[in-house]
Structure 1
Amino acid sequence: MCGKRWILDNKTLLREYIKKYRYFSLNNVVQSIGIKRCVAIKYLQLFKSEKIVFSAGRGFYTSEGREFIYPKISRVIKIRQLIIKEFPNLDFIIWNTLYFQPYYHHQQTHNITVVEVEYDGIQSVVEIISRFYRNVITESKRKLCTSEFDITNDPIIVRPFIRRSPRDGNEPRLEKMLVDIYIINYKYKIMADVDFWELWRSLFSLYRIDFSKLIDYAVGRRNMRVLISQLIDNAGLKEVIFDSKYDLLSNMTRKKGGRCRDGKTRHKTVGIIEKRNTI
C-alpha cells in the first residue's frame, strides 16, 4: 500500500510540475522533484499519450498543445500550384511573411514571399513566376539581393532549397520560419528589432515550438550562437532553459564525435557552433 501511494505521489508531483512550467527537460524533472529517471520517463510517456505534455525536442517537453495554423494566402496558393503544375518533380518550400500578420505589434503594410527550390531549378522557377508576378529576385549564399530588394514592392525571393528544413510538405514549420525571418530581418531590416522580438514572444506564448528542430536548423543556417543568445535575452526563454544557455545548447545539439587532446569527447555540433557564428 505504501509503495502504491508513493507512486501516486510521484505522479501528482510531476503533474503539478507540468502545470508550473510550459517547457522543461527530463533532467529538470529528475532534479527538481527528486524522483528516479525511469519513473519520470514512465509518467512523461503516460502524459504524452494523454495529450497532457508534448515533445519539445530531444529530452525537452512542453504542456503547450497548440500548433501554428497556416493562413490561406492567395499569392502563396497560386505560386505553389504554378510550380507543381510546371515542375511536378521539383522539391520546394513556399511561405509568406503575411503568415505572421495577426501577431505583429505594428501591422506590416508590405510582405515577402519566400520560395526555396532545388539549386538546378532556381532559374526555371524564377522565369515561370516572373510571367505572372513582378519583383521576382534571386538570392544565393554568395549573392544577396540587397540592391534589388524593396519591401514596398512586395518582393518574391527565390533562393536555394535548404536541406533538413523543418517542414510539412511544401509548408515550412514554425521553427524554420522563426529562424528565417530573423535572418531576413538582419539582412533587409523589414521591421524594427523591438517589433521582431514582440512577434517572437507572441508566437512563443501561443504555440508549441520544437527547440531541437529550431536549433538544428539554426546551426545549418550558420546563425546558432547569435540567434539563440538573442532569443534567451529578448524572447523570454529563460523559463525554458532555467537560465542555462549551455544546458540548452549541449542537450539539444549533442552528437557523437571524436576525442580531444585532453581525452574528452568532442561533439561535432559544438564545433559547428563555434565556427558558424556569423550571419
Structure 2
Amino acid sequence: MDYTIEKKIPSYFQGNQTISKKDLVDGIRKDFPNLKESSINVYLSKLKKEGVLKNPTRGIYALQGNNEFCPVINSKLKRLFNKIKKDYPFIDFCIWNTIWLNGLMRHQPFKYYTIVELEKDVAQSVFYKLKDKGKQVFLEPDTETFELYIHNSDDVIIIKHLVSEAPVIETENIIIPSLEKLLVDMIIDTNLYGAQQGELDFIYESAFSKFEINQGKMKRYAQRRNKEKEVEHRMNLTLAKN
C-alpha cells in the first residue's frame, strides 16, 4: 500500500511546483478511501523524512528534486573572505559577487561587484583597511555614488551592513548569503540590484524552478526588513505561474 501511494504522489501535483496540504490529502483520500486522515498525515511525515516530499512553508507541499544554491566561489573571493576573517575573527559577515545572479537572468550585466555584508560596528574599519590596500571600495553607497563612480568602475567592492539574523549559508568554509536572502534584498536594495530590477519576475521564476527555496525563511527575513507584504505578494505571483 505504501509503495502504491508513493507512486501516485507525483500525479497529485499535475505539473504544479507546489500544492496545498488540503489538496494533497483530498487527492490521496479519493484514490484510497479506506485511509483515515490521521494515517495520511503519518505517511506524509514519512515521505518528508525520506526526501520524497518537501514542506517549504506551513500547509504547502512540493516534490523533492530541485538543486541547492551553490554558486562558484573563486579564489579572489576566498582570499578576501579569509583576510577579513583573520582580522575580525568574531564578527558575523558574508561575502558574494553579483555575477552569481546571471544564471537567473535573461540579459547579462557587464559590471559585477563584490559585496561584503558585515556588522555595522566594524563596517567603517573594514572599509578603511581595504581602502588602504588600494581597493576600490564603497561603504553603503547611495544612488548618486552608484551613478557617478560604481557604474563606471571595474573590480569594485561594496560594503553593506548585515541585517541581524539574515539567512546565510556556509560553503567551502566561506559564509555566503542564501538565495532566500538575495531574493528578498533584490526587492529592497534597488541601487545594488539595479541591473536586476527589470527582470524581477523572470529571476523569481528562475529561482523557484531551479533551486530549493525555503519560503518560510524568506518571509521571516522579509519581516525583519519590513517588506513582508511585498515579498509575499511576489512569491505568490511566482508560485501561481509555476
* TM-score class normalised by the smaller sequence: 0.7 to 0.9
**Contact 1:94/1:172 (CA < 8 Å) preserved in 2?**
yes
**Contact 1:137/1:145 (CA < 8 Å) preserved in 2?**
no
Gaps of 5+ in 2: 30-34
Structure-to-structure mapping, 1:73-88, within 5 angstroms? 73-88=74-89
- Asked if 1:221 is matched to 2:225, the reply is yes
Quick one: structure 1 residues 103 and 196, their matched pair in 2 at CA, closer, same or farther if it must change by over 3 Å?
same
SS in 2 for 1:215: helix
Larger relative CO (CA 8 A, sep 6+): 1 or 2? 2
* Among 237, 243, 248, the residue aligned to 2:239: 237
**Contact 2:179/2:213 (CA < 8 Å) preserved in 1?**
yes
Query: Aligned-residue CA RMSD in angstroms?
Result: 2.7
* Among 165, 168, 177, the residue aligned to 1:172: 177
**Contact 2:118/2:162 (CA < 8 Å) preserved in 1?**
yes
Show the counterpart of 1:60. 60
Quick one: structure 1 residues 69 and 210, their matched pair in 2 at CA, closer, same or farther if it must change by over 3 Å?
same
Show the counterpart of 2:32. none
Quick one: structure 1 residues 27 and 113, their matched pair in 2 at CA, closer, same or farther if it must change by over 3 Å?
farther
**Contact 2:186/2:196 (CA < 8 Å) preserved in 1?**
no
Show the counterpart of 1:197. 201
> Per-residue displacement from partner, 1:42-80 (whole Å, max 9, x unpaired)?
222222233212231334332143211121234422220
Quick one: structure 1 residues 189 and 70, their matched pair in 2 at CA, closer, same or farther if it must change by over 3 Å?
closer
Take 1:33 and 1:223, find their aligned partners in 2: how far apart are those partners?
A: 37
**Contact 2:68/2:212 (CA < 8 Å) preserved in 1?**
yes
Show the counterpart of 1:244. none
Structure-to-structure mapping, 1:15-34, within 5 angstroms? 15-18=10-13, 20-34=15-29
* Larger mean Cα displacement after TM superposition, 62-71 or 207-216: 62-71
Q: TM (normalized to structure 2)?
A: 0.80
The residue type equivalent to 1:23 in the other structure is T
* Among 145, 148, 168, the residue aligned to 1:148: 145
SS in 2 for 1:80: helix
- Give the drift of 1:13: 4.4
- Give the drift of 1:145: 1.9
Take 1:165 and 1:37, find their aligned partners in 2: how far apart are those partners?
A: 37
SS in 2 for 1:237: helix
SS in 2 for 1:90: coil
* Larger mean Cα displacement after TM superposition, 84-93 or 161-170: 161-170
Quick one: structure 1 residues 64 and 207, their matched pair in 2 at CA, closer, same or farther if it must change by over 3 Å?
farther
> Per-residue displacement from partner, 1:16-66 (whole Å, max 9, x unpaired)?
325643223323323454465423322222222332122313343321432
Take 1:125 and 1:39, find their aligned partners in 2: how far apart are those partners?
A: 56
Quick one: structure 1 residues 107 and 167, their matched pair in 2 at CA, closer, same or farther if it must change by over 3 Å?
same
Take 2:124 and 2:131, find their aligned partners in 1: how far apart are those partners?
A: 10
SS in 2 for 1:121: helix
Take 2:192 and 2:131, find their aligned partners in 1: how far apart are those partners?
A: 22
**Contact 2:96/2:116 (CA < 8 Å) preserved in 1?**
yes
The residue type equivalent to 1:216 in the other structure is R
Take 2:92 and 2:196, find their aligned partners in 1: how far apart are those partners?
A: 33
Gaps of 5+ in 1: 241-279
Quick one: structure 1 residues 159 and 188, their matched pair in 2 at CA, closer, same or farther if it must change by over 3 Å?
closer
Structure-to-structure mapping, 1:8-47, within 5 angstroms? 13-18=8-13, 20-34=15-29, 36-47=36-47
* Among 182, 186, 190, the residue aligned to 2:187: 182
Take 1:90 and 1:37, find their aligned partners in 2: how far apart are those partners?
A: 48
Q: TM (normalized to structure 1)?
A: 0.71
Take 2:110 and 2:200, find their aligned partners in 1: how far apart are those partners?
A: 15
Quick one: structure 1 residues 74 and 153, their matched pair in 2 at CA, closer, same or farther if it must change by over 3 Å?
farther
- Figure out how many residues of one structure are paired with residues of the other and give that number: 228
Q: Which has the higher strand share?
A: 2
Quick one: structure 1 residues 78 and 50, their matched pair in 2 at CA, closer, same or farther if it must change by over 3 Å?
same
Take 1:19 and 1:48, find their aligned partners in 2: how far apart are those partners?
A: 19
**Contact 1:96/1:111 (CA < 8 Å) preserved in 2?**
yes
